[in-house]
Structure 1
Amino acid sequence: MLSSTLLYLAEASFCLAVFALAYRLLLARLTYFAGNRAYLLGALAASVVIPLLAFPGLADFLAGSVSESPAGRPLVFQLNWKPSPTAPAVAATGVGPDLAALLMHGLLGLYVLGALYKLVAATRNLRDLAQLAKRHPSTDLGAFAIVHLPEPSLPAFSFGRHVFLSPQHEALSAEERQLLLLHEGVHVRQKHTADLLLVEALGVLFWFNGLVPYFRQQLKTVHEYLADEAVARAQGSPRTYGELLIKLAAQQPPFALAHAFSNKQIFLRIKMLTQPTSSPMQKLRFLLVLPVFGFAWAATACTGSPATEVAATPAATTSTNAPAATATRIGRITWQGNTYLSTAELNEALGLKTGDAYDSATVVQRLNFDPKGRDITSRYMDHGFLFFSAVPTATPQPDGTTDLAFAISEGRKAKLRNITVSGNKKTSSTALLAPLPLRSGDDFSRANLMKSQTILAQQGKVNPAKIAINPKPVMSPNTPTDFVDIELVVEEK
């Protein structure tokens, strides 16, 4: 039973890797977001179910024979959730079987401890969200309920049928507030929270697998694309909505299970809003999903077929029963499309090299989410590249390594143009702007915007909870760069 459990986990992890790679290569860049959501959910479900199914005749068929049932008819499929065949008896004085059993129990114990830890963390996360909704006043709008939070620094986010807003969002204009609620309403109506709960459950079962966070991130991204698409379609023009996304870009979600209105993929979302719709012919890519699922089924069946295990010799059994190898080390690292930073500078910023352990979550963090601002996205967005994006591709190699390829889209630089202050009556705009690291003609810098907000709050002249920074991109195709107007909205004490 122990070996079957470990074999199942290995086969399910192999399926996750196959489906993640297929999504990255075939579907990730398409604008058919509903189809992408269906694929991601189907891939997660299939990764759980496929290893439970065996195809007993397949391995023997590849070897030149077909297994048959006792009645003489070929078997189609059967459940393969059963103990592995008993190993040959070994003398009591031998230590091999005892050491193997000890290792098996140790691995299973480690797995159970990790699963319990993830279960406790997920339960705590759900409890905190439920208590947050109960502790604060709410307004039921029928389709969803708005929970009014007192902390102004919290972002707008949704969970289940609850949309959480802070005083900052209550102060938005009527049009901006309508766009925000329309966006969050799509999350509620399409039940996006249920998708995240499914991934959270699989995160407990496969806590050791770095691909589960990848699927979670891709699902959340597709959810945001679906909501953005619905708002843009209702609004007619994405300009005002895009400006609202940038306005709230500095705020980050407090819970992994929540859908934040604005997140760190803000500029990729804006780019997707303005990207032409994928051609109808590209829908044919979804047909390629069928052979991908068939390959995953065939590979796990060849590995776990009971008929093959019984008939194989010891040497063949070792080869057949071994779980599909997964890449554990980084092979080649390549970059395409970069001009501002050299390949050497990008490799230094990534902080990974050939031979290092490969972990998809680490790659994503080094690319986008370093809390200290040392990620590659910050290297660009803090130096004028407002619409920068980078798409990674991981390709397993026969030698057990994984090659990493990064497609860079730097976009045009953006310079600061007009910097204005509104809401100030007693203090001059010059006095408020003087200590800020914002100067007309300078390159756009996300770090400088956040630093300016901190300086304004520390001056003591304005209400720290009532500071808003509104970047307004100004496209200028006939000049070397685009421009950004910055509006600082304050409320004096």
Structure 2
Amino acid sequence: MAELIMYLLESSALLAFFYLLYVLVLRKETFFSLNRFFLLGILAFSLLFPLVSFDISPTEVTVLERPIAEISKARMSYYEAMAAWEFEARSAAGSTQTAAEPGVMVSTGVDWLRLAINGILLLYAIGVVVCLSRTCWSLRWIRKVISSHSYEEMDGIKVVKLPQPISPFSFLNYVFVPDSLVDSSEFQQILAHEKTHIEQRHSVDLLIVQLLAAFLWFNPVIWQLIKSLKTTHEYIADKKIITSGYSLVEYQTLLLKQLISNNSFGLVHNFNLSFIKKRITMMTNQKSGWSGKVKVAMAIAGTVLFSAIIVQCNSKMDESVAESGPAAETSTEFEAGVNLPVLPDNGYTFDGNRSDALNVSITGNKLSIEGKVYNLSDIASLVKDAKLSDHAVIILRVDKDQSMSLVRDVQTELRKADRRKILYIGQTVSGKSFEMPFLLPPMPGRPAADGKQLPEIDDQYAAEHDMDILKIRLGDNAGAANQQLVYDFVMGQRQKDKSNYVVSAGFDDGDTYSDYLVNLAYIQEGFNQIYQERSQQMFGKDFYDIAANNKEQYQAVRQGIPRAISVAEH
């Protein structure tokens, strides 16, 4: 949904810019056919350009590099903000009052954020349906009028005679006129006017624009554009009448006489509309000269330049996403086909040595290591042959819909091989890399560095060692609620001056990897929130800056608050 909202906002902004350019430069010029295609073109460009992305500037243009970079940066920040907003609501969907495991608190109350998002989506959908329904109603009404009245073909045009005294109008190949006007002296001028609309397919313009307007109905500019397009159509028809030899005075008099009956429908061209005065004024205006041509050239150049900047910004955004990917220094073949989970940006970037790492991906129940498919039994030998240092990490990319059964088995094999430093990889809604370091727990029963057997932490062990456990289900999609649970739990331990605690994060084989990673990320953020507060209180610095640059301060911030997270299948 975030992408849809951003697309609609960007399309609306582009349309507003292009239409403002039309109003300021072209509206009063007599290049009516050009204005018609300009209005149609800016609507098409506004809908298309936010989706177009290719590099149109192989050689750097210094004067444009900075504005393009700034626009791209601003757009990326909007995408990230929208992603966090949407993700927060989606994560909170699972925060309902249910029976939970011992020690797990689940948030209650009305999810106003999600209600707001759903309300916006519902309102937009209603607007689209209403606008499309109006267009369909107009088409049905015209069809009904045609079927219920007789018509006569004149000069290749079907003239529908109506008994009621309405203003003449046309649609496609039909002209609708009151029966009383057919035999009048004014009829030929009316027919010539409407014939121009028919020959130039103005009805097709309106039909296309009305359909597209349904998807931008919330933008007032689109309705002004439709009015301008109708006005331009009338200017074109008026010009054709005058240049065909009809008397200017008689034609203007005819417009004024028809003003008393004014019926206007979205898909038809009435013979006269409420802008009669503008039309009469435009008929007497002198043809635009060189100054007008210069304005047209400037408007077209401005449109092309601005469009090129937008397309180039799209390209730059794609480049920044690609460059922010976790494998910028290594081959990306192993990433093919992995649909990564979507998470909000956590502000963390792994700054370790990526060449001293093992790239593992799981998708479609297949395990790939450095781009080649292997079996679970191969992991131990591959880890050994990789000749990794003690500080090496396992970079793990898993398809968001992958069940946790295989992920569990892979992580178990890594734990057996004592390769427990994991860098989980996801993506933000804009395609930026999401990175989260994690230390898998050691295998129970295996000797630790001091030679002692590592225990299996369960309720019995916790009771015997006065250890508090917070149990969280990673498959429940509680999202942001988990961050608050962890924060409150650990702060409660701090008040009791205890550091002997553990957050037990469990999952089932049938859980999806997306739920696993999302909830695990929020559990981590519960600890990070505490560390961030302590870092600001103690040193007035950002926790991530301290973690990267000052080991002593980093240890001081975490003193007595271990990041004790145990992940295991339930």
Residues 68 and 309, structure 2, Cα contact 8 Å, conserved in 1 = no
Structure 2 vs 1, CA of residues 194 and 66 (structure 1 numbering), >3 Å: closer, same or farther?
closer
Identity of aligned residues (%): 31
Structure 2 vs 1, CA of residues 233 and 109 (structure 1 numbering), >3 Å: closer, same or farther?
same
Residue 291 of structure 1 aligns with which residue?
Answer: 302
Secondary structure of the residue aligned to 1:211 is helix
* Unaligned runs of at least 5 residues, structure 2: 70-78, 96-105, 326-344, 348-428, 431-570
Structure 2 vs 1, CA of residues 233 and 126 (structure 1 numbering), >3 Å: closer, same or farther?
same
Supply the RMSD in Å over aligned alpha carbons. Answer: 3.8
Secondary structure of the residue aligned to 2:252 is helix
* Counterparts of 2:82 and 2:220, CA distance in 1: 31
Residue 197 of structure 2 aligns with which residue?
Answer: 187
* Counterparts of 1:261 and 1:100, CA distance in 2: 50
Residue 271 of structure 1 aligns with which residue?
Answer: 281
The CA deviation at 1:60 is 13
1:40 maps to 2:39:
yes
The CA deviation at 1:301 is 5.9
Residue 16 of structure 1 aligns with which residue?
Answer: 15
Residues 2 and 82, structure 2, Cα contact 8 Å, conserved in 1 = no
Give 2:44's aligned amino acid.
A
The CA deviation string for residues 441-477 of structure 1, in whole angstroms up to 9 with x for no partner, is xxxxxxxxxxxxxxxxxxxxxxxxxxxxxxxxxxxxx
Residues 32 and 236, structure 2, Cα contact 8 Å, conserved in 1 = yes
Aligned positions of 1:67-466 closer than 5 A: 100-152=113-165, 154-173=166-185, 176-235=186-245, 237-288=247-298, 289-296=300-307, 298-299=309-310, 302=313, 305-308=317-320, 311=324
Structure 2 vs 1, CA of residues 140 and 95 (structure 1 numbering), >3 Å: closer, same or farther?
farther
The CA deviation at 1:204 is 1.1
Residues 115 and 207, structure 1, Cα contact 8 Å, conserved in 2 = yes
The CA deviation string for residues 64-111 of structure 1, in whole angstroms up to 9 with x for no partner, is 7999xxxxxxxxxxxxxx999976998986899x76555433322221
TM-score between the two structures when normalised by the length of structure 1: 0.54
* Counterparts of 1:101 and 1:257, CA distance in 2: 38
The CA deviation string for residues 158-179 of structure 1, in whole angstroms up to 9 with x for no partner, is 1111000103322522xx2111
Secondary structure of the residue aligned to 1:14 is helix
* Unaligned runs of at least 5 residues, structure 1: 68-81, 322-493
* Counterparts of 2:319 and 2:116, CA distance in 1: 26
Structure 2 vs 1, CA of residues 84 and 178 (structure 1 numbering), >3 Å: closer, same or farther?
same
* Counterparts of 2:169 and 2:68, CA distance in 1: 56
Secondary structure of the residue aligned to 1:298 is helix
Structure 2 vs 1, CA of residues 131 and 83 (structure 1 numbering), >3 Å: closer, same or farther?
farther
Give 2:3's aligned amino acid.
S
Give 2:138's aligned amino acid.
N
Residues 52 and 314, structure 2, Cα contact 8 Å, conserved in 1 = no
The CA deviation string for residues 211-256 of structure 1, in whole angstroms up to 9 with x for no partner, is 1111111111011000000100112541111111111112212422
The CA deviation at 1:57 is 9.8
The CA deviation string for residues 321-347 of structure 1, in whole angstroms up to 9 with x for no partner, is 8xxxxxxxxxxxxxxxxxxxxxxxxxx
* Counterparts of 2:68 and 2:291, CA distance in 1: 39
* Counterparts of 2:113 and 2:42, CA distance in 1: 33
The CA deviation string for residues 110-135 of structure 1, in whole angstroms up to 9 with x for no partner, is 21121112111211111001111111
Aligned length: 299
The CA deviation string for residues 5-57 of structure 1, in whole angstroms up to 9 with x for no partner, is 01100011001101110000110000010111110111111111011113579
Secondary structure of the residue aligned to 1:40 is helix
* Counterparts of 1:300 and 1:107, CA distance in 2: 28
Residue 50 of structure 1 aligns with which residue?
Answer: 49
Residue 76 of structure 1 aligns with which residue?
Answer: none
Residue 491 of structure 1 aligns with which residue?
Answer: none
Secondary structure of the residue aligned to 1:235 is coil
Residues 50 and 297, structure 1, Cα contact 8 Å, conserved in 2 = no
Give 2:10's aligned amino acid.
E
Residues 55 and 302, structure 1, Cα contact 8 Å, conserved in 2 = no
* Counterparts of 1:111 and 1:279, CA distance in 2: 45
